[in-house]
Chains A and B, each alone.
Chain A
């Protein structure tokens, strides 16, 4: 909050009043910073996931591009594409399906990381009520992944 960004006298006065309330100004500044951080986390997560998926898909197509995709009937995925630990393990062995799945998992993890960041942000602001709310949301998300560890 340095300097009046808006020329209207009303807002300039508002800014001046803010300067006397350092704490309020700081809180708003950190809120702005937080929004920037959330934005960057979301964009970074999507970009990273897309990159891993691209690499995985290239391997998948190179090795299995000419096979029939049997997706008309639901068989469920093989075990190594359903558990997080198995996906990571197979991805590091260079399996195209697992590498693609790893990118997909990174994408699914992006909103989860965003919720974790919001827990932290409300904690920094000593907003107990919303720390509780976001922690419960985070717990629900982790429960959903629990079966897939």
Chain B
């Protein structure tokens, strides 16, 4: 990041970042750049921020992952690639934790989930493989666009509709039609638009890998709008797939050196703790107000990311 020239200018620090002592290489007093803090202070700050992100994400249902990368890059001056690695790991933690509960409750359509995982893992592998070739400012701009889409969705949440009656050819062949609990009874539903849904999921996989997010928004839109799954089934099945999608790109990123343990652990533990607390608070929380608040955060972040992306400051 351009505003954070501290370590870059301290040549010894750039070569041996872990051996460098704080205070040796400060050339700028930029308040925006916190990476010249000690590992201890930085991880405490990042853990606190991640806790808030996990809490907001779980209370609003928009996921905490979307805000982790902007927090790390814009607030703490962490390189985008380390931020993406840390965020992906946090996404695996929260989605796996939540999926455990949903699968047991019987909302998740496991057949639809594993079939679409074909597409998301392929997309994620492809995305992670080409990520190194894409300039980070392009990724930042793309991130801004996805944040705007998320903000739009949070203002206009998808509405539950009557399930479709007629299955499509692919859904029948793949035996995807199922039922889910509604008020103590099992309501049957038919699945539509499998090929289109599959294609969108390829894109969701690429996006997840490139930006280090769960891309649950894209997944839910595909399953709700195109495949006509009931809303509760869409959200839980999307969540079911997110961990696997993120794991596919994490393997590549681990090898490529994107996953830094010292920044990943406060993000992972913070977001996880936030999500767990959020699940406890959810029944009593005023989610409408929180959702509006989070939307404002998303829009502001989106503008900053787009600006940095377009001006090449990232």
State in angstroms the CA–CA spacing of A137 and B118 once bound together.
Answer: 5
State in angstroms the CA–CA spacing of A136 and B255 once bound together.
Answer: 22
State in angstroms the CA–CA spacing of A57 and B255 once bound together.
Answer: 21
Most chain-A CB neighbours within 10 Å: which of B4, B14, B100, B252? B100
Measured CB to CB, the closest approach of chain A to B81, in angstroms, equals 5
Given contacts A74-B81, A133-B114, contact A43 B100 (CB under 8 A): yes
Interface residues on B, range: 35 or more
B249 at the interface (CB under 8 A from A): yes
Given contacts A64-B18, A137-B117, A137-B118, contact A40 B100 (CB under 8 A): yes
Measured CB to CB, the closest approach of chain A to B198, in angstroms, equals 12
State in angstroms the CA–CA spacing of A72 and B4 once bound together.
Answer: 7
Chain A residues with Cβ below 8 Å from B74 are: none
Could you tell me if A104 and B255 are in contact, using CB atoms closer than 8 angstroms? no
Could you tell me if B38 and A69 are in contact, using CB atoms closer than 8 angstroms? yes
Could you tell me if A110 and B39 are in contact, using CB atoms closer than 8 angstroms? no
Could you tell me if A35 and B106 are in contact, using CB atoms closer than 8 angstroms? yes
Per-position 1/0 for B235-261, Cβ under 8 A of A: 000000001101111111011111111
Measured CB to CB, the closest approach of chain A to B181, in angstroms, equals 11
Considering only CB atoms, which chain B residue lies closest to A121 in the complex? B110
Considering only CB atoms, which chain A residue lies closest to B81 in the complex? A74
Could you tell me if B20 and A42 are in contact, using CB atoms closer than 8 angstroms? no
Stretch from B61-69, B152-160, B263-271 forming part of the interface with A: B263-271
State in angstroms the CA–CA spacing of A18 and B42 once bound together.
Answer: 59
State in angstroms the CA–CA spacing of A22 and B262 once bound together.
Answer: 54
Per-position 1/0 for A32-69, Cβ under 8 A of B: 00011011101101100110011011001100111111
Could you tell me if A57 and B265 are in contact, using CB atoms closer than 8 angstroms? yes
Per-position 1/0 for B5-33, Cβ under 8 A of A: 11110000110011111101100000001
Given contacts A72-B33, A101-B259, contact A140 B121 (CB under 8 A): yes
State in angstroms the CA–CA spacing of A82 and B256 once bound together.
Answer: 7
B104 at the interface (CB under 8 A from A): yes
Chain B residues with Cβ below 8 Å from A144 are: 121, 124-125, 128, 247-252
Given contacts A70-B18, A140-B122, contact A100 B265 (CB under 8 A): yes
Considering only CB atoms, which chain B residue lies closest to A60 in the complex? B262
Could you tell me if A61 and B272 are in contact, using CB atoms closer than 8 angstroms? no
Binding site for A on B (CB under 8 A): 1, 4-8, 13-14, 17-22, 24-25, 33, 35-40, 42-43, 77-82, 89, 92-93, 96-97, 99-101, 103-104, 106, 110-111, 114-115, 117-118, 121-122, 124-125, 128, 174-175, 184-185, 243-244, 246-252, 254-266, 268-269, 272
25 examples of A-B residue contacts, CB within 8 angstroms = A35-B106, A42-B243, A43-B96, A43-B97, A46-B96, A46-B272, A53-B268, A60-B39, A66-B22, A67-B18, A70-B13, A72-B1, A72-B36, A73-B14, A73-B79, A77-B257, A100-B264, A111-B246, A111-B247, A114-B244, A129-B175, A133-B118, A137-B121, A143-B125, A144-B249
Given A57-B265, A64-B18, A133-B118, 10 other A-B contacts at CB below 8 A?
Answer: A42-B100, A67-B18, A71-B79, A72-B1, A72-B8, A75-B14, A104-B89, A111-B243, A148-B252, A148-B255
Q: Sort A-B residue pairs by CB-CB distance and give the 4 closest, nearest first.
A: A70-B17, A76-B257, A144-B251, A65-B40
